[in-house]
Chains A and B, each alone.
Chain A
Amino acid sequence: MEYTIRVGGEAGQGLVSIGSVLSKMLSRSGFHVFAHQDYMSRIRGGHNFYQIRFANFPVTASREKIDVLLALDMETVDIHRQDLNTGGVIIYDAAALGSQLSGQEFFDVPFARITEEKSADRIMVSSVAVGVVLGLFDLDIGLFAKIMESTMEKKGEEVIAKNIAVAQAGMDFVEKNYADSNAHKVVRPMTNGQMLINGNQAIGLGALLSGCKFYTAYPMSPSTSIMEYLAHNAPKYGLIVEQAEDEIAAINMALGASYGGVRAMTATSGGGFALMTEGLSLAGITETPIVIAEVQRPGPATGLPTRTEQGDLFFVLHGGHGEFARVVLAPGTPEEAFYLTNKAFHLADKYQIPVIIQSDQYLADSEWTFPGFDTEDLHNEDFRLRHQALQEMSSYKRYASTDTGVSPMAIPGASRHLVAVDSDEHDEDGHIIEDAATRIAMVEKRFHKKMPLIRQEIAPPAYIGHQQAVAVLVGYGSTSGVLQEVCSHLAEKYRIGMLHFNEVWPFPLLEKFDYLALLKQAALTICIENNATGQFANLMRMETGFEFTVRINKYDGRPFLVDTLLGEINEYLQRL
C-alpha cells in the first residue's frame, strides 16, 4: 500500500502548514513517509506544492503520479491534474476557485463555508483540509488534536478547540458526501510512531549533539532553516547563534570562536560560500577547526533560489586559494546528515581542518521517517588542550612539529601559555616567516602529513545490490533515496546494484572496499547527477581513471522522481 498526496497553491495559503501537519500525523501513525517541497522564491502568490508519499514499507523518494490532489487554487488543478492516478481524487473548494469542476475525480469541499459554520477564523481552512484527508484515509483525529495541542499551545485553548472542531467537520463532510468511502484503504505497518526529520533539521540536530556552541550565518535559502532550528534551541542548550552581517563575517566569526576554544559552525548556499572562500583558506593555514554546511541551490549567481542542484561539488573541493587539507561529506539522507555532521565536527577538531557538509535544497527540505537515531553511535571527543593538562605543560607552541602534523590546540587565556595564530606563513610559535625551510616544513605539516591520516578516516561508498551486477547506478549526496527505489524496482528483472558516495573528499581508498572492481565488471555503469556537467563523474575519472558508460544529468532545478528516472534507466538496460 502506498499513496501520494500533493497539496498545491499560492504561497501564503497555508500549504506548508497543511503539508507538515499531514506528514507528522502520518509518521506518528507509523507509516513510512517521504515528503518534498517545491516552492518559488516569493512570499505570496506563485505556484508551490508540498508532496507527501506514505506507505507501509520504507519510501525514500517522490513519485510522479499522485492519488490525492489538494488544490488550493485553479492553477494547481491545471498543472497537476494530469498526474492523477486512476481512482485518484482532486479536492477543491468550488466557491473559492470560482468554478464547479466536472469529472468524477473532482470532489468539492466547501472549506470556507465549513470554517464559517463553525465561526472559526479564515486561516483555519487549513485544518478543514487536514480533516478531509483524515476522512479520506480514515485516520484518527486524535493525532491531529495532539499536534494542535503542542504547536498551538501559545495561542490558547479556544484556538486549539476550534481547529479540532473544523477538522472534525471536514472529516464528517467526507463521510457524508464522498462517493466511495472505501476508495482509499490504508494498511498500517507493524511499527510504532516513527521519527520524522528533514535534511536541515538533521544537520542542526547533529550540530547540537556534537557540542556545537557557536553558530553564525547570514540567511540564504536553502540553508536558513539550520539557523532557525539552532536559534530556537540556543537558550535551552547553551549555544550562541549570531546572525552575521555577511558570509565573510560569518566564517571569520566562527573561526574566532573556534580559536577561543569551542566547536563552531556556519552554513550557507553557493553564493555565500563564494564569499567565505578566503576564510576557508584562513582556516586552512591557521589550522582552525570549522564545520561549514553548503546547502546547494542552482547557480550561477542568484540562480534558482528555492530549487535544487548538485552544481557546487568542484567549488567546495577547490574553493579557497592555496593548498590545504579539507574534508567534504555529502549525506544522502537526513539520517546520514545527522551522523555525518557529527563526523564533521570530529574530523575538524581531530585534524584542525575545515570540514564541509554539502547538501542541497532537495535534501534540506525533504522529510523522511526513521525508526530513530541512536545517540550512542555519536563520536564526541574533546581534542582541545585545556585545564590542568595545559597548565602543566612546560612550554607551548601552537604549531609545534609532530609526526602527524597535528599540534596541540590550546585555549587562549586558559593558562600562562600564549596561543599565537597567523594567516601569514609562520613558524612553530605562530610568528611570520618568509624562509624556504620553514615554509616547506609547514606545508608538509598541514598537508602531506595530515592528508594520508585523514584519508584513512573516510568511509567507502555504500553498495546495495547484486554482487555480479551487469548494471551499476552511481551517485553521491542527495540522490541516494531515489537510486535506492529505482534499484529495488529493477532488481526484480536485472542483476543490478547501486553505489552511493557520501564521503567524497579525500576520495575513498580502494583498500577498504574495491568499488572499482565492481564497476569494471559491469557492462553498464550510469552516473546520475543533479547537474549539467557530471562533476562527480569527472571527479571519479580524476581520482581513479574510471569512465562511466553513461551519465544522466538533470539540471532543471528539480529533483529526480522515481518513475521518470526508472523509465530512463530502463531504456539503457533494454539496449544491453
Chain B
Amino acid sequence: MNTSNDYKEQQKPAWCPGCGNFAILSTLKKALLDMNMEPHQFAIVSGIGQGAKLPHYLPCNFFNGLHGRSLPVATGLKLVNHDLAVVVVAGDGDCYGEGGNHLVHAMRRNVNLTLFVHNNEVYALTKGQASPTTMTGKLTKTQPFGNPSEPLNPLALAIALDCSFVARAFSGASGLPFLQEIMKEAINHKGFALVDILQNCVTYNKKGTFHWYKEHVYRLEEDYDPGNRVEAFRRSLEWGEKIPTGIFYRNDRQTCEQRLPPIQETPLVNQAVFSLEAGQEVNNFY
C-alpha cells in the first residue's frame, strides 16, 4: 500500500511561486494515489520546458529527453513494455510546436500513452516568447508588435484526427478535483489520450491568470456524450468568453500494441534476450 508520503517531493521544484505547475503536480500525485499506482509501476517521459521538469518532483521512473521529442521516446518505451503505464508531460511549446509532427502521428498510431500538456500559452523556460497557443496580438520580446499568428486549437486538431481520448481541464483551485478525475480516466483509457491543461503563467502570461480562467471555464454538461465525434468537434470550437472543460471525445479504436503480433502475450522486454532460432536465418541465404 502506498501513501502520500511515498510521493513526497524529491527535489525542490524550479518553478515560480504561484505557478500552475504546482497544482498539476499535486493533482497528478493524488490521481496516482487514488489509482493505487506504485512509483515503479509507471514511467514519465518528458521533454524540455518548465512543465517538463515535473518528473523530477515525484518518485517515478523517468526519461527526461529532448525538447519536443517526448512522444517518440514514450512510444518506443511503451511498445517494448506495455505493462508499464507511460505518462507524457509536455509544454504547449514542447508538444504543439517543436514536437507537433510527433503529436499528429502519436494520435494516428494510437499507442496507449497518456499525454498531459501544461498549456500556459507561452514559452516560459526561454522567457516568454509566443507559443503555438498564444493569442493573436500578444506582445512579447520576440513579437514586439504583437503575435501575428492565430492560436492552434489542440482539441479540434485531436478530434479531427480521431484521437482516442480528448479532454481539457483547468489547473486553478476550483478545477482541480475535476482535473484529478480526468487524469485518472485518461490513464485508464486504452489508447492515446490527450489532456490539455489550462495553466496560468504568473510571469509571462498576465492575462491568462487563474482568476481570468475561473471566470470563463465551465464543465461540459452531465448528459454530454463524448462518443459523438461531430458534436465533440463543434464543442471544441468554443473558445473565448466560454471555455468548456471535460472529456470531449473518446473512442475504443484498436491500439497499436494490439496490432503487433510479437507482443500479444508477453511484453517484449520480458521475452528471451537472445533468440536461438534466429540462427537458422543464415540458411535462407544459400
- Structural contact, A423 and B105, CB atoms closer than 8 A: no
Q: How far is the CB of B284 from chain A (nearest CB, A)?
A: 9
Chain B residues within an 8 Å CB radius of A91: none
- Structural contact, B40 and A417, CB atoms closer than 8 A: yes
Chain A residues within an 8 Å CB radius of B45: 256
| Docked complex: B65-120 residues within 8 A CB-CB of A | 65-66, 69, 71-81, 83-84, 101-102, 104-105
0/1 interface trace, chain A 270-306, chain B, CB 8 Å (1 if under): 0000000011001000100000000000000000000
- Structural contact, B11 and A413, CB atoms closer than 8 A: no
Chain A residues within an 8 Å CB radius of B23: none
0/1 interface trace, chain B 256-269, chain A, CB 8 Å (1 if under): 00001111000011
Query: Given the complex of chains A and B, what is the CA–CA distance between A242 and B11 in angstroms?
Result: 36
CB of A253 closer than 8 Å to a CB of B: yes
- Structural contact, A422 and B64, CB atoms closer than 8 A: yes
Q: How far is the CB of A457 from chain B (nearest CB, A)?
A: 20
Chain B residues within an 8 Å CB radius of A412: 40, 43, 61, 77, 81, 84
CB of B178 closer than 8 Å to a CB of A: no
Query: Given the complex of chains A and B, what is the CA–CA distance between A295 and B77 in angstroms?
Result: 26
Number of A-B contacts (CB under 8 A): 196
- Structural contact, B279 and A262, CB atoms closer than 8 A: no
Query: Given the complex of chains A and B, what is the CA–CA distance between A372 and B84 in angstroms?
Result: 41
| Docked complex: A361-388 residues within 8 A CB-CB of B | 372-373, 375, 380, 382, 384
Q: How far is the CB of B49 from chain A (nearest CB, A)?
A: 12
- Structural contact, B285 and A261, CB atoms closer than 8 A: no
In-complex Cβ contact of A237 among B43, B260, B278 (8 A): B278
In-complex Cβ contact of B262 among A235, A373, A424 (8 A): A235
Supposing A195-B286, A412-B43 touch, asked if A286 and B260 sit within 8 A by C-beta, the answer is: no
CB of A88 closer than 8 Å to a CB of B: no
- Structural contact, B76 and A233, CB atoms closer than 8 A: no
Interface size bracket, B side: 35 or more
- Structural contact, B268 and A213, CB atoms closer than 8 A: yes
CB of B282 closer than 8 Å to a CB of A: yes
Q: How far is the CB of A549 from chain B (nearest CB, A)?
A: 41
Most B C-beta atoms less than 10 A away, residue of A193, A214, A412: A412
| Docked complex: A204-228 residues within 8 A CB-CB of B | 205, 208-211, 213-214, 216
Chain A residues within an 8 Å CB radius of B7: none
CB of B281 closer than 8 Å to a CB of A: yes
- Structural contact, A257 and B80, CB atoms closer than 8 A: yes
Most A C-beta atoms less than 10 A away, residue of B53, B63, B83, B273: B63
Interface size bracket, A side: 35 or more
Supposing A238-B271, A260-B269, A418-B60 touch, asked if A255 and B278 sit within 8 A by C-beta, the answer is: no
CB of B39 closer than 8 Å to a CB of A: yes
Segment from A243-251, A442-450, A477-485 that makes contact with B = A243-251
In-complex Cβ contact of A262 among B69, B73, B75, B268 (8 A): B268
Q: Which residue of A lies closest to B76 (CB)?
A: A256
Q: Which residue of B lies closest to A196 (CB)?
A: B285
| Docked complex: A398-422 residues within 8 A CB-CB of B | 411-422
Query: Given the complex of chains A and B, what is the CA–CA distance between A418 and B56 in angstroms?
Result: 12
Query: Given the complex of chains A and B, what is the CA–CA distance between A253 and B109 in angstroms?
Result: 13
| Docked complex: B229-277 residues within 8 A CB-CB of A | 260-263, 268-269, 271, 273-275, 277
| Docked complex: A491-540 residues within 8 A CB-CB of B | none
| Docked complex: A121-135 residues within 8 A CB-CB of B | none
Query: Given the complex of chains A and B, what is the CA–CA distance between A249 and B101 in angstroms?
Result: 9
CB of A28 closer than 8 Å to a CB of B: yes
CB of A328 closer than 8 Å to a CB of B: no
CB of A194 closer than 8 Å to a CB of B: yes
- Structural contact, A233 and B281, CB atoms closer than 8 A: yes
Chain A residues within an 8 Å CB radius of B281: 205, 208-209, 233, 237
CB of B10 closer than 8 Å to a CB of A: yes
Q: How far is the CB of A564 from chain B (nearest CB, A)?
A: 30
Chain A residues within an 8 Å CB radius of B42: 413
CB of B22 closer than 8 Å to a CB of A: no
- Structural contact, B76 and A421, CB atoms closer than 8 A: no
Q: How far is the CB of B255 from chain A (nearest CB, A)?
A: 13
CB of A454 closer than 8 Å to a CB of B: no
Q: How far is the CB of A391 from chain B (nearest CB, A)?
A: 11
Chain A residues within an 8 Å CB radius of B48: 423-424
- Structural contact, A216 and B285, CB atoms closer than 8 A: no
Query: Given the complex of chains A and B, what is the CA–CA distance between A208 and B276 in angstroms?
Result: 10
Most B C-beta atoms less than 10 A away, residue of A282, A372, A384, A422: A422
Query: Given the complex of chains A and B, what is the CA–CA distance between A196 and B286 in angstroms?
Result: 6
Chain A residues within an 8 Å CB radius of B63: 256, 259, 286, 421
- Structural contact, B64 and A259, CB atoms closer than 8 A: no
Chain B residues within an 8 Å CB radius of A238: 262, 268, 271, 275
| B interface, CB within 8 angstroms of A | 10-11, 14, 38-43, 45, 48, 53, 55-56, 59-66, 69, 71-81, 83-84, 101-102, 104-105, 260-263, 268-269, 271, 273-275, 277-279, 281-282, 285-286
| A interface, CB within 8 angstroms of B | 28, 193-197, 201, 205, 208-211, 213-214, 216, 233-240, 242, 244-246, 248-250, 252-262, 264, 278-279, 282, 286, 372-373, 375, 380, 382, 384, 411-424, 430-432
A-B contact pairs, 16 of them (CB 8 A): A28-B286, A193-B286, A211-B274, A236-B277, A237-B281, A238-B262, A249-B69, A259-B76, A260-B79, A261-B269, A282-B65, A375-B279, A418-B39, A419-B43, A421-B62, A424-B48
Which 9 A-B residue pairings sit nearest by Cβ, starting from the closest? Answer: A256-B76, A256-B73, A252-B72, A257-B76, A412-B61, A253-B76, A260-B80, A245-B105, A249-B72
